[in-house]
Amino acid sequence: MPKPKRRCDECESLYFSEASQMMSLCPECSHLLYDYPNCQHKFENGSCVNCGWDGSRSEYLKGLLQRHNMSDAELNDELVFLEGRMKKLSRLKEVKALMSEIAPPPLVMVAIGCNWRTLECEGARDGLLDLKVLLNESFVVRGEIPNDLTAKVEHARPYLLSDYLLRGTASERRQIGLILA
C-alpha cells in the first residue's frame, strides 16, 4: 500500500505524512525552520525513500541556508552592510522616534534585516522597505518604511528577545548570538 503523502507548505515537495513531526512541513523544512530532527535522506529516482522529499527549496530557505553556511566573518560583514543601509535611510529619524516609544533611552538600535520588500520596491513611489532591528539588546521589532512620505512608518508587535530566540530559526539565533558576543 502506498504511504499517505502531503505537500510541504514551504518547499512544495510531496513527503510521507508519517515521516514528519509537523503537519504541513516536510522533514527537511521542519528541521531548517524549527530544528526538528532531519531525515537521513536517501535519494532514489529523484526523491528520498525515507521521507519522500524531492530536494525542492523555497527561495526563503535558500537565503537562510546561505546564512547557515556563512562564517562568523561573513555574518559580521552582513551586519555591517545592514547597519550601513539603515543609516542611509532618509526616514531614519522617524524610525528612531518610533523605536524610542518601545525601548527606553539610550536607544541602541542594531539592524538585523533591511530589505526592499520586492525587487521593484527600490525607488518606486509605492515601494516598501522592511527593517528588523534589535533594540537595547532586549526587543526585536519589525518596521515597515514606505517610500511615500505621506504614508506613516509603522512597526509590528515587538518581541522580547527571549521569545524571538525561542521562535526564531537557527540562522536568526546565530545572527543575534554574534551581536551579543
Q: Write out the residues near Zn ion by the rule CB under 5 A.
A: 8, 10-11, 26, 29, 39, 41, 48, 50-51, 53
Q: What is the dihedral of CA 148, 152, 153, 156, to 10 degrees?
A: -130
Residue 51 vs 131, nearer CB to Zn ion: 51
Give the pairing type, strands 159-160 and 139-146. Answer: antiparallel
Residue 50 vs 147, nearer CB to Zn ion: 50
Query: Nearest approach, Cβ of 73 to Zn ion (angstroms)?
Result: 30
Query: Nearest approach, Cβ of 25 to Zn ion (angstroms)?
Result: 6
Query: Nearest approach, Cβ of 65 to Zn ion (angstroms)?
Result: 13
Residue 57 vs 96, nearer CB to Zn ion: 57
- DSSP per residue, 104-165: PSSP-EEEEEEEESSGGGTT-TT-EEEEEEEETTTEEEEEEEESSTTSPPEE-PPEEHHHHH
Q: Which residues contact 65 (CB under 8 A, 6 or more apart)?
A: 32, 57
Rg (CA), the chain: 19
Query: Nearest approach, Cβ of 176 to Zn ion (angstroms)?
Result: 25
Residue 20 vs 95, nearer CB to Zn ion: 20
Residue 39 vs 64, nearer CB to Zn ion: 39
Query: Nearest approach, Cβ of 1 to Zn ion (angstroms)?
Result: 20
